[in-house]
Copies of this chain bind each other. A is one copy, B any other.
Amino acid sequence: MTAYAPPTPARRSPVRLDTDPYLSRYADRVTGLAASEIRALFSVAERPEIVSFAGGMPDLSVMDLDAVADLTASIIRDQGTVALQYGGGQGRPQMREALVDLMAYAGVPATADELVVTVGGQQALELIAKCFIDPGDVVIAEGPTYVGAVAAMNSHQADVRHVPMDGDGMRMDLLEDTLAQLAREGRRAKYVYTIPNHQNPGGVSLSEARRVRLAELAVEHDLLVIEDDAYGLLGFDGEVATSLRTLIPDRVVYLGTMSKTFSPGVRSGWIAAPTPVREKLVLLREAADLCPSNLTQLMIERWLTTQPWQEQIKRYRALYQHKATLMLDALASEMPAEVDWTRPRGGFFVWLTVPTGIDTSALLAKAIGRRVAYVPGRGFYDDGNGGDQLRLCFSFPPTDRIREGVSRLAELLHDELGLLRSVYGDDAPELAGRRGGGAGA
């Protein structure tokens, strides 16, 4: 397994005046950017004796690698001078047509002309941030939200305002509070960023009623909504929710990715945007890296037009449902009563909330000492919150090690709570149960 360091730990930290002779040359946006110590822990977490719930990766063991090898070899043999050449910045028309069909399968309308092919969902987030965010501009996002989105928005010096979730996703009443607060400040949000389906890291989805309400609020407050649909096709029951793009197409910039339903290694995602925005995004994309790979685009075109890709998605769904069940069962039987977690019905993640006396960032080294890894919660917020939360990924770890990993983490939390009790006694507020808080289901 290749190193996977999630971008979580890339946080603004105290400037190291003593060590960096290039300091006076950097742009403001990167002066305080530094890798945190957590990054070093993640490389340790790759050791085979450790059960890692950290990286948010698909389980490729159910991919038909021979089929992918065959179609790729045939592309290079038959269309090699196209596959290995430069392409257009927007992406191949044939690729965009294939993606339109994939979106239709997810119930999301689009035309090929509205699409820009990107390097995974992450480049989509970067291009959107670069397109809309001036330093200090406000962006609204769920709290917690995807670490890579925080990294992209941070790198453009956004002022991120988080709106808490519950089991039905982003709370619309609290979004209204945030909008009212911004109005009082005389400011407006450049956009609202949301992952409505099987949110990363929350593991919850926006209810149908709230989708309608969000659409209403977008019209009422003249909002642009970034709809990140990385996990929409990975609902365990195979159902797809109503996309925001369906409800308010002119106000939505929609993001998709091949990383969860096919392969992250082809580094392919896309944006569907209203034409004027799409034009800007193509120009920014060309400035960023010229064009997507024709080779990986052709692989995806061939995959989506000649292979049973719906069956592959069903295989992923079934596998992840099985793994989620294993994890949720293990959590229910092993975790201390003071710990709370979400109950995902799709996607990759469970979100845990522990008593406030425990700091999940500080706890990670101990967890790795006990041969289990997770991602601490702070990276999923831009405001310092999340110290009592953590993300567990169930999609990637081997089926037969999920219970073992949960047991190790549960044992550690039992011990930590015991320590806290020995210091503060049973009634300390730090030990209060957290059920109902955070993104609780």
Residues of chain A having any CB pair with chain B under 8 Å: 1-5, 7, 10, 19-23, 25-30, 33-35, 55, 57-58, 60-61, 63, 65-66, 68-70, 72-74, 76-77, 80-89, 92, 118-120, 122-123, 126, 130-134, 137, 148, 151-152, 154-156, 190-191, 224, 250, 259, 263-267, 274, 276-277, 279-280, 282-284, 286-296
| Identical copies in the complex | 2
Q: Report Cα–Cα, A74/B69, bound state, in Å.
A: 7
- Report A250 CB to chain B, min CB distance, Å: 8
B69–A27 CB distance below 8 A: no
A293–B290 CB distance below 8 A: no
Give the contacting residue for A288; candidates B63, B89, B123; CB below 8 A. B123
Give the contacting residue for A287; candidates B7, B27, B80; CB below 8 A. B7
Q: A81-B61, A119-B289 are in contact. Are A4 and B276 (CB under 8 A)?
A: no
- Chain B hits for A250, CB < 8 A: 21
B277–A134 CB distance below 8 A: no
- Chain B hits for A156, CB < 8 A: 27
Q: A5-B88, A88-B4 are in contact. Are A289 and B122 (CB under 8 A)?
A: yes
A77–B57 CB distance below 8 A: no
Q: Report Cα–Cα, A155/B58, bound state, in Å.
A: 34
Q: Report Cα–Cα, A133/B26, bound state, in Å.
A: 7
A289–B267 CB distance below 8 A: yes
- Chain B hits for A191, CB < 8 A: 25
Residue with the greatest number of chain B CB neighbours at <10 A, chosen from A119, A265, A279, A282: A265
Q: Report Cα–Cα, A190/B28, bound state, in Å.
A: 12
Give the contacting residue for A263; candidates B28, B84, B224, B277; CB below 8 A. B84
B89–A5 CB distance below 8 A: yes
B84–A264 CB distance below 8 A: yes
Give the contacting residue for A68; candidates B68, B70, B76, B287; CB below 8 A. B76
Q: Report Cα–Cα, A150/B118, bound state, in Å.
A: 21
Leading 3 A-B pairs by shortest Cβ distance: A84-B265, A65-B80, A84-B263
Q: A7-B89, A276-B20, A296-B295 are in contact. Are A137 and B27 (CB under 8 A)?
A: yes
- Report A160 CB to chain B, min CB distance, Å: 14
Give the contacting residue for A276; candidates B21, B66, B267; CB below 8 A. B21
Give the contacting residue for A34; candidates B7, B66, B279; CB below 8 A. B279
Give the contacting residue for A85; candidates B34, B60, B148; CB below 8 A. B60
- Report A265 CB to chain B, min CB distance, Å: 4
Q: Report Cα–Cα, A28/B135, bound state, in Å.
A: 10
- Report A280 CB to chain B, min CB distance, Å: 5
- Chain B hits for A76, CB < 8 A: 65, 68-69, 72
Q: A10-B286, A287-B10, A288-B288 are in contact. Are A68 and B87 (CB under 8 A)?
A: no
B265–A294 CB distance below 8 A: yes
25 cross-chain CB contacts under 8 A:
A2-B82, A4-B87, A7-B287, A10-B283, A22-B276, A25-B190, A26-B132, A27-B131, A27-B137, A30-B130, A33-B284, A63-B81, A65-B81, A69-B72, A72-B73, A83-B265, A119-B119, A122-B289, A126-B289, A148-B286, A151-B286, A154-B287, A155-B287, A289-B289, A293-B296
